[in-house]
Chains A and B, each alone.
Chain A
């Protein structure tokens, strides 16, 4: 070879290649057969692990997504019959785990018969209440119906031969005095839910529509829809009863009055006490007694019982209500004065007998509600012309009704008097919601509570928490909690099994790597000694087997991941249609970009890092052996 050619040959070595990494690589490449064996050993362990993990991940993700996607799996239905009031719903809807909750009536209490307008086919449908944000409707491809609209389930739509945009006529019916009565309303179909929402024939409407149907079936009127019926009227409740008799009662009679009347306490009052308590006095020789209850209030039934027990004794009964705070309000809501209301109604015939100090002009009882809306104002209160109202507060609500002022004033400072019946109704207001119906001039009871509810948890993982929350309140609910729990358990088990298998496999590989690298260091004692001789530091040589371990690990990893990719492409294309049939839906319909066998990139990167780490650590043991090589002993074959 000429000198020129030699020069070129040297020039081919451009950069100084002295790094330990390069030396490790050159050594591995030189012994390529052995290197390939070691890489194969690593690949043999990693490939099945990747495939296992990919399958596990893919399957679990698909199934979990399937479970979470269907809102039915997040539904919670009460099993116990109870009454849920507005306060309960407000509190529940504030909970983080609750995505949607709406009151519902008793099952089958709100059914209607529907038919498409101008068509013949009729079908009985159950009404289900809905509101903004209802997951069942929104996630099944429809919009929430507003007033005058409805959403049908698929079977309901098929039975009615209805489509979106059609107008339905919904009719509620009831039997009154042996005759059928009907109430109808027109609703426009704005959505039809897919089959997975429900297999029953249901119609989803706003809650007030549902309540209207329920009230109609209860016999009540629904003025908003023009449906006839009665009004649920308010009734009086009392806290106690003042009994005034000319003759004193004996012990037996006193005890009699507490039996079967609803009253639990009996007191004898002095005239002075009576004045401060009830605002009036009677003749001094009268026997004055006060019946009361511990906590509950009593109704007219109790009064009638007492009256019956006292028949023939010429007793006068004065229903008693604990003083009620109210506000006198002028026209245009202007507040006039605060008042304390006391009940007082007197039978005009008995006035002489008992010598009562105060005689309100409204008599003992009133024929209509209109007539009980009267008030005797306390002295010293000036009022102007115009209509007046009385406002009674309760928590964040109030009851307002018109009141007319009688010309007489109350003789007692700070006391205003109203008829006992009115006071009794105001007492009822403390426990039941009322409102004053202007058109009918009646105090009307508001809805007491709801028998059921529809609820959806935010995610399937919240279902169990909610179920336990209700259980603590002795409320049994039905949910997919059991199935969800099984999915979560399955996930955990599969994870556990996977990691067990992985641990076994990886341990084997580590042992094999350690053995191979250690043996390799022993074999190369001489050459490593030479490197030490020509001046490579101990720290540099320490890295030699570590780099080799990492390179082997990387090689094994790359081949394993390539094999996995091939395998997963095969699996995914071969088995996808079978899986879809098994789960009963199309994966693309869920807009799910999920393969049956797949490992997401972050996991792959993690596995790569793990491989490097483990290979490096396994090599460390061989590396420590390197450090113990003395250059001198390595060079001599001793």
Chain B
């Protein structure tokens, strides 16, 4: 499940080398380059940058919902299974299988299903994975996230912050190895945002997941994240933009 102490060497979860993604939008070509990226198990990773820098694109690729245009190496290794998956060689079905069992997502606006109650939303990944006897784990999650009394409501009756917390619970319900969160605090007020951040960190540390957060707010993750990646954006003319991902904070350019 988790890792016992910080002293043991942590296995790689993601290994990217010379990964490139090209996207075209309305005549403008955008290119994201990742020369090297290694993420280890149990790390709290922050992807920080201004809008349009490609951080969400990177998150999508790490979340196995978008394929790179080309990659020298793109390997995902699941700590629980120890299996190494060369992403470029897998079919959509196989990727979906990995997403189902080992990944959890928190989307910008929650991404809850409007026709299910909070409870049903949270339990959905468990149902899909055919997991039983999850009551204690879920109990723990909703208790810590302080949403235990909101479970019978449908998302439309929850506040933004409550929705976000339900989304977090859902992302963790099936005990994935990796959790990806795309601007999870963008839609809530500052107080709630920090609360959510803290709960997030506490939970992920407890369970021992590898957490990747994309945010434009560097202050949110300053001092909390284990490592930070940022993006250098270059514009060439009106039609070509490229962005390069490197480790380090935004200021260390």
Contacts and interface: CB of A to CB of B under 8 A. Distances in A.
Same complex for A and B? Answer yes
Interface of A: 1, 3, 5-7, 9-11, 13, 16-19, 23, 26-27, 29-31, 526-527, 530-538, 630-632, 635-636
Contact of B138 (A10, A30, A535, A536): A10
B107 interface: yes
Interface in B28-78: 56, 60, 63, 65-66
B119 A10 contact: yes
Contacts of B60: 632
B127 interface: yes
A7 B142 CA distance: 10
A632 B57 CA distance: 9
Nearest to B97: A535
A535 B101 contact: yes
B92 interface: yes
Nearest to B63: A533
Nearest to B136: A7
B54 to A, nearest CB: 13
B55 to A, nearest CB: 12
Interface stretch (B12-20, B80-88, B144-152, B227-235): B144-152
29 contacts: A6-B148, A9-B119, A9-B148, A10-B135, A10-B138, A13-B119, A16-B126, A16-B131, A17-B120, A17-B123, A18-B128, A27-B115, A29-B115, A30-B116, A527-B114, A530-B111, A530-B113, A532-B96, A533-B99, A534-B99, A534-B100, A534-B124, A536-B96, A536-B100, A537-B96, A538-B96, A630-B65, A632-B60, A635-B111
Interface string B129-162: 1111001001100110000110110100000000
Nearest to B148: A6
A30 B115 contact: yes
B148 A1 contact: yes
Contacts of A17: 120, 123, 127
Interface of B: 56, 60, 63, 65-66, 92-93, 96-97, 99-101, 103, 105, 107, 111-116, 119-120, 123-132, 135, 138-139, 142-143, 148-149, 151-152, 154, 170
A244 B142 CA distance: 139
B113 A636 contact: no
A3 B154 CA distance: 21
Given A3-B148, A10-B135, A13-B119, A30 B97 contact: no
Contact of A13 (B112, B120, B139): B120
A112 B231 CA distance: 123
Contacts of A631: 65
A635 B100 CA distance: 17
A3 B111 CA distance: 26
Contacts of B114: 30, 527
Q: Which of A26, A533, A534 has the most CB of B within 10 A?
A: A534
Q: Which of A10, A19, A23, A537 has the most CB of B within 10 A?
A: A10
Contacts of B127: 16-19
Contact of B139 (A6, A526, A527, A531): A6
List of 8 A-B pairs having minimum Cβ-Cβ separation, nearest first: A535-B100, A18-B127, A30-B115, A1-B149, A16-B127, A6-B148, A631-B65, A27-B115
A636 B60 CA distance: 11
Given A530-B107, A632-B66, A535 B125 contact: yes
Contacts of A16: 123, 126-127, 130-132
B115 A535 contact: no
Nearest to A22: B127
Contacts of B149: 1, 6
A535 B129 CA distance: 9
Contacts of A26: 115-116, 120
Contacts of A537: 93, 96-97
